[in-house]
Structure 1
């Protein structure tokens, strides 16, 4: 299903928007202060990829042009995983994306439940394929209980455990293997930081489709005004949802969409320093300041359609543990759809 002007497209560019606040605020000392504060924030949250070897041999074609063959069916392209034998690959060892040339690219978005004294797990795992030539974004939310190979660990486990075992790097390699596509960029955000940002912006309003109770908090059906703590709890419920983890993903998207809508309003500009403090404390990305400027300048106006595709599968217990099982056929379908999204095919 395609949705025009969906605010989720801004999720890919949310930090880039902070970097170019000067364009919104106009000239003036306060704007100058905010611009430099945003620049400092981006410098602080920058963290390149590079502690776990890439998935596979790094040579399979996974999207774009003609004649490429993937390890899980036939693809139609030539976007490749980085060809490197380096045991400690960096961003520079991976494929090159030219954002100034408006190349298609992928982003892995990780929402991490990470508290003091706890290494945490990735509560939200989203793969985003962006192609300005097609004026579109394709989103895949991967259920956190999805059973797959954990690349670099040598085990098969829930996909969200990759973060607990090896942080962002292992998560990237694991998702690359699961989807059979390269991950060009990532954005990791501690979900506790979102709680504080929601409070800074005055809460969010959601339309709850059915009533439920979680951790002693009642959420009746209908319109609800939620502060940060209750919004985060609302977005985490899944056991009483008939859709399970898919329903939880939908609530997370609703809360995120409302949060982004509030953040875009000009009256929240005075709150930007507080928001930047939370981003600095709770986010990491391999996007540089120049990358973010290129995204804002070259992609923002080119994207007008966001498509969301569901990862189809079913629950199964193995050794008494619940997993979300995704067939090889479904993985091939997802790969082929994302490969097509990333293809430069003359459009």
Structure 2
């Protein structure tokens, strides 16, 4: 090989090497930026409560050891000067062994004991009386299972989360109009404002609050799908910002990492549960009454999912 050719080859290898180094540096810087933004968002989201472990567990659940766990999701219409009520109450029972999540929506008008308040009232009033801690204790008592963690979402700001992931697509099973938007039956693509309207409709739905719960679950699953997609990597700053502004949880950053690492397969198999009861007027107030036999059925299924004796 002539000296000129060798020189050109060395120059090409040098240029290629520099480009590779720059690419690796760029990828490393991007990864660090994503990691830093995520940790900042989780620190903002983290809101510990004075509740070290559930009374329904002998020992605190271990995410590192891949034990089944539960999460209480609270959707709160939180406006300025009003902390609101938890109009959306969803329990997730996550089991990594059978790779599934059972999702139960509890109607907000469900009549039950408000633990720590000494009253029998609508279950969504627990948050108004005693924030996340009273909500967790009340749902625990109602379902007779441990509630290990909570995630609270400000529904007024939920539209920001939907917009941050670039909008979502859901399956709508009923034609209706809400807040000036028309939602046709079938697949519907929603931005943040439409998603909020989609979750709030219940008066046009013959199923009442149950139809509303179904739409709420569609929204949650739509956000999870879009948030997990590769296209969302380019939107990470707006996603983390929206989460930090509108979500609070007692999960720590390390616990969230454990869930992502040890429970990922379960998230692909979400099974929706329903709770049956009847509406009734008591002292001129509407309540949703769940019979004892129905409560026992739900409790048994959730205990099996959480592998409780």
Q: How many residue pairs get matched?
A: 284
Conservation of the 8 A alpha-carbon contact between 1:132 and 1:303: no
Q: In the TM superposition, what is the alpha-carbon distance from 1:184 to its structure 2 partner? A: 0.8
Q: In the TM superposition, what is the alpha-carbon distance from 1:54 to its structure 2 partner? A: 9.1
* Helix, strand or coil at the partner of 1:272: helix
For 1:325, which of 269, 282, 289 is the aligned residue? 289
Residues 255 and 32 of structure 1: is their aligned pair in 2 closer, same or farther, counting only changes over 3 Å? same
Conservation of the 8 A alpha-carbon contact between 2:53 and 2:60: no
Q: In the TM superposition, what is the alpha-carbon distance from 1:326 to its structure 2 partner? A: 0.4
Residues 262 and 326 of structure 1: is their aligned pair in 2 closer, same or farther, counting only changes over 3 Å? same
Conservation of the 8 A alpha-carbon contact between 2:37 and 2:237: yes
Residues 302 and 180 of structure 1: is their aligned pair in 2 closer, same or farther, counting only changes over 3 Å? closer
Alpha-carbon separation, structure 2, partners of 1:302 and 1:137: 6
Conservation of the 8 A alpha-carbon contact between 1:123 and 1:144: yes
2:106 matches 1:148: no
1:127-166 aligned at under 5 Å gives the runs 127-166=91-130
Q: In the TM superposition, what is the alpha-carbon distance from 1:303 to its structure 2 partner? A: 5.7
2:39 corresponds in structure 1 to 39
**1:250-278 CA deviation, whole Å, 9 max, x = no partner?**
11111222222222222222221111111
| Larger RCO (CA under 8 A, 6+ residues apart) | 1
Residues 335 and 250 of structure 1: is their aligned pair in 2 closer, same or farther, counting only changes over 3 Å? same
1:241 corresponds in structure 2 to 205
2:224 matches 1:257: no
Structure 2: runs of 5 or more not aligned? 1-25
Q: TM-score, normalised by structure 1?
A: 0.76
**1:83-112 CA deviation, whole Å, 9 max, x = no partner?**
xxxxxxxxxxxx311111111111111111
- Choose 245-254 or 257-266, whichever is displaced more: 257-266
Q: In the TM superposition, what is the alpha-carbon distance from 1:153 to its structure 2 partner? A: 1.2
Residues 225 and 132 of structure 1: is their aligned pair in 2 closer, same or farther, counting only changes over 3 Å? closer
Residues 149 and 344 of structure 1: is their aligned pair in 2 closer, same or farther, counting only changes over 3 Å? closer
Q: TM-score, normalised by structure 2?
A: 0.85
* Structure with more helix by fraction: 2
For 2:257, which of 293, 296, 301 is the aligned residue? 293
Structure 1: runs of 5 or more not aligned? 1-25, 59-79, 83-94
**1:44-85 CA deviation, whole Å, 9 max, x = no partner?**
22122227x999xx4xxxxxxxxxxxxxxxxxxxxx346xxx
